[in-house]
Amino acid sequence: MSIEIADIRDALITQLKADTDITDIFSTRIDYGLGRNITQNMLPSCIRIVQLGRGVTATDAEIEAEFGSGYTWVWAHYRLHVIAIFEQSNEKTAEDAESDYDRKLRKAITKDRELGGLVTDIDIGRTVFRTHPEKDSTHYVILEITALTHERSDVR
């Protein structure tokens, strides 16, 4: 089976939409992609999944040296960002919301670390908090996600 980053993204969206803590805050405004401009239909709050790419843990030469020729499986890492976008003009309330959204997103993402068997594991990296440079009331909570899969190297 060949896995694409879109499959992982879609499974992650499905998992987030199934979590009541997340839907209580963001309703059904959970989707993928992030354009250059934050549109009004994204506010007052939404979650966007942004695909960053795929990498493998070893080169073909390293795999052959360790396992011998004919070994066709590699560990692949798919990297994504989960971005919560919300409006809040009060700075202290925004900081509280950032911490709350970070905690709830981490809990929802790790509820099923295999995304229904699609991946082997999900690793959540650091969280970054940002404010829109031109609009102080728009805030971002950005989580770095790495999904680990074991897949055939000859499919790529």
Dmax over CA atoms of the chain, in Å, equals 60
47-74 confidence digits (pLDDT tens): 999 988 887 666 666 666 666 666 667 7
Number of domains in the chain: 1
CA distance 21 to 114: 20
Residues 6+ apart with CB under 8 A from 80: 5, 8, 9, 12, 49, 50, 51, 52, 145, 146, 147
The domain of 139 spans 5-155
Average pLDDT value for the chain: 86
Residue 62 confidence (pLDDT) = 66
CATH number at residue 117: 3.30.2000.10
Residue 71 confidence (pLDDT) = 61
Q: Mean pLDDT throughout 19-26? A: 94
